[in-house]
């Protein structure tokens, strides 16, 4: 049985071979393919062997086109490579570049050059940008054709978003914070109906329309402000490289937002204990108890593990050691808080909250327990974060000094006051204040401990 004949990307019309290939989405905007679904060129032969040779050249040409488009070369990156070079060094580099191009593309500029011939491809965008970056670094003015290439190589919103997310990950920021940038970028692109947009093309009219769409879709104003903040950071990232002179289109929209913010109300202990009973696992219950007896944020509670529970070196008192700024709200979130007596037995054998993938998942779990307990009618003002209001109110009612309450909750307090009063505070006194927090339900807590 003879082997199957290779006819991939080949088509016979009459008795001659043609190269035929579907235009991939990545190349839809390429000037040679605009408006085309299929790319077809004659190979000028009726020989299958010759057609295969010519087909292979076209395949290389096509693949090079795709690679050049996928690499998305940026002018800012090219300019960054030249930063700090002297005029003499730039001139020498230009001379070297010219010789290299002449060797690799000797046909460019000649009258007989055929751009559509796969054997004589055009210079790749990346190489063109090398020249443009050199011209700009040498203080030269670009020609209209060069400026068109430079404009296409400006940074996009998506690129800036990816770079910022990488920086945040390197800085150790939590995944939830990082993904907020992607969420904001995805929503803006979705509104525009585009996969990419050059940052310099974004104007305030476009942003105003996006704002109105978000409000029309009834997103909470605080959520929209968060998206605008993230998008504004992306814009500033690009502006640092491309020297924007216009103002940031994602800033100064505060008057268009409601000034109301979520004010979390304190839980009634009878209601909260029903949420505890409806919780899915003992670890979910433990998170609520820790919040009730410490006032810690959900992110901070989720971040706890066995290494976060240590004895104070001077007093031997067991404490929660909340980490600095990994998931806390601000730099004052780093703190050492004595563990309430009612929590100590519950923490026996505790290793961490690895049963959920994130604090966001824990928040949703808390919401499900609240619904299961028949308390969804209470609304969003009663959430896990409300436990901080309970702790703040209880401590205030017990006449705990305000600076100490702020220190326990990880609030920002007066300049210098934190180190003067809270940082040096005797743990015995602090434990006494923490232990004044009332029990949630001793009967239920005893079940947890058994």
Show me where the domains of the chain are located.
Answer: 10-71, 75-105+120-152, 157-256, 269-449
Quote the pLDDT of residue 195: 85
Running DSSP on this structure, what letter comes out for residue 23? P
Q: What is the DSSP string of 135-188?
A: HHHTTPPPPHHHHHHHHHTSPBHHHHHHHHHHHHHHTT--HHHHHHHHHHHHHH
d(CA 351, CA 138) in angstroms, rounded, equals: 60
Quote the pLDDT of residue 400: 86
Contact assessment for residue 410 and residue 332, using Cβ atoms and an 8 Å cutoff: yes
Contact assessment for residue 327 and residue 304, using Cβ atoms and an 8 Å cutoff: no
Q: In terms of Cα–Cα distance, which of 261, 257, 262, 246 is closest to 211?
A: 257
Quote the pLDDT of residue 24: 74
- Domain 157-256, CATH: 1.10.150
Task: Name residue, tokens 């945040």.
Answer: 168
Residuewise pLDDT in 10s, the chain (450 residues):
455 678 888 888 888 999 888 887 656 656 566 667 888 888 889 998 898 888 888 887 777 666 555 445 566 666 666 777 788 888 887 887 777 777 776 766 666 666 666 666 666 666 776 777 777 778 888 788 777 766 677 788 998 898 899 888 888 887 888 889 999 999 999 999 988 888 888 999 999 999 988 888 777 788 888 999 999 999 998 888 777 778 899 988 887 776 555 578 899 999 999 999 999 999 999 999 999 999 999 989 999 999 999 999 889 999 999 875 444 444 446 788 999 999 999 999 999 999 998 888 999 999 999 999 999 999 888 999 999 999 989 998 888 887 788 888 887 544 333 333 344 567 899 999 999 999 998 888 888 765
- Domain 269-449, CATH: 1.10.443.10
Quote the pLDDT of residue 3: 58
Cα dist. 336→3, 18, 168, 349, 389 in Å?
A: 75, 75, 26, 20, 19
Q: Return the sign of the alpha-carbon dihedral for residues 304, 309, 313, 316.
A: positive
Residues in contact with 159: Cβ distance below 8 Å, sequence separation at least 6, in sequence order = 72, 74
Quote the pLDDT of residue 239: 85
Quote the pLDDT of residue 412: 55
Contact assessment for residue 286 and residue 324, using Cβ atoms and an 8 Å cutoff: no
Quote the pLDDT of residue 189: 92
**Pairing of β 38-42 and β 10-13:** unpaired
d(CA 302, CA 294) in angstroms, rounded, equals: 13
Quote the pLDDT of residue 6: 84
Contact assessment for residue 263 and residue 97, using Cβ atoms and an 8 Å cutoff: no
Quote the pLDDT of residue 416: 34
Quote the pLDDT of residue 325: 44
What digits encode the pLDDT tens for the residues 209-258? 999 888 887 777 888 889 999 999 999 988 887 777 788 999 888 877 76
Residues in contact with 151: Cβ distance below 8 Å, sequence separation at least 6, in sequence order = 198
Cα dist. 250→104, 176, 190, 360, 362 in Å?
A: 45, 22, 17, 26, 31
Quote the pLDDT of residue 374: 95
Quote the pLDDT of residue 175: 81
> Phi/psi of residue 83, each to 5°?
-60, 135
Strand 10-13: give its sheet, edge to edge.
Answer: 10-13, 16-22, 38-42
Quote the pLDDT of residue 366: 96
């Amino acid at each position: 049985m003879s082997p199957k004949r290779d006819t991939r990307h080949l088509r016979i019309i009459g008795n001659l071979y043609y190269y035929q290939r579907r235009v991939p989405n990545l190349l839809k905007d390429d000037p040679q393919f605009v408006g085309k679904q299929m790319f077809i060129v004659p190979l000028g032969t009726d020989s299958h062997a010759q057609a295969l040779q010519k087909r292979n050249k076209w395949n290389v040409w096509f693949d090079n086109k795709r690679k050049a488009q996928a690499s998305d070369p940026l002018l800012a990156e090219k300019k960054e490579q030249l930063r700090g070079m002297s005029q003499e060094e730039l001139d020498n580099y230009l001379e070297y570049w010219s010789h290299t191009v002449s060797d690799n593309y000797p046909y460019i500029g000649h009258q007989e050059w055929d751009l559509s011939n796969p054997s004589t491809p055009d210079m790749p965008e990346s190489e063109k940008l090398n020249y443009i970056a050199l011209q700009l670094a040498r203080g030269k003015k670009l020609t209209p054709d060069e400026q068109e290439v430079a404009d296409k190589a400006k940074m996009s919103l998506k690129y800036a978003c990816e770079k910022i997310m990488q920086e945040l990950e390197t800085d150790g920021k939590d995944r939830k914070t990082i993904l907020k940038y992607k969420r904001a970028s995805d929503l803006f692109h979705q509104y525009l109906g585009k996969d990419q947009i050059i940052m310099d093309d974004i104007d305030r009219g476009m942003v105003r329309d996006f704002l109105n769409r978000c409000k029309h879709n009834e997103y909470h104003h605080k959520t929209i402000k968060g998206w605008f903040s993230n998008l504004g950071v992306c814009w500033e990232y690009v502006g640092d490289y491309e020297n924007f002179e216009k103002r940031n289109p994602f800033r100064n929209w505060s008057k268009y937002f409601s000034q109301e913010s979520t004010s979390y109300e304190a839980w009634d202990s009878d209601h909260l204990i029903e949420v505890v009973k409806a919780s899915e696992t003992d670890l979910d219950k433990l998170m609520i108890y820790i919040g009730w007896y410490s006032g810690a944020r959900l992110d901070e509670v989720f971040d706890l593990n066995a290494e976060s529970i240590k004895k104070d070196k001077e007093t031997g008192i067991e404490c929660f050691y909340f980490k600095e700024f990994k998931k806390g709200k601000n730099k004052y979130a780093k703190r050492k808080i004595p563990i309430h007596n009612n929590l100590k037995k519950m923490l026996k054998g505790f290793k961490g909250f690895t049963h959920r993938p994130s604090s966001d998942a824990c928040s949703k779990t808390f919401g499900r327990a609240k619904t299961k307990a028949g308390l969804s009618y209470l609304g969003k003002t009663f959430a896990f974060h409300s436990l901080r209001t309970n702790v703040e109110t209880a401590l205030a009612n017990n006449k705990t000094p305000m600076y100490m309450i702020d220190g326990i909750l990880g609030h920002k307090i007066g300049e210098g006051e934190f180190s003067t009063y809270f940082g040096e505070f005797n743990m015995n006194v602090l434990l006494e204040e923490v232990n004044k927090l009332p029990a949630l339900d001793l009967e239920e807590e005893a079940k947890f401990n058994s």
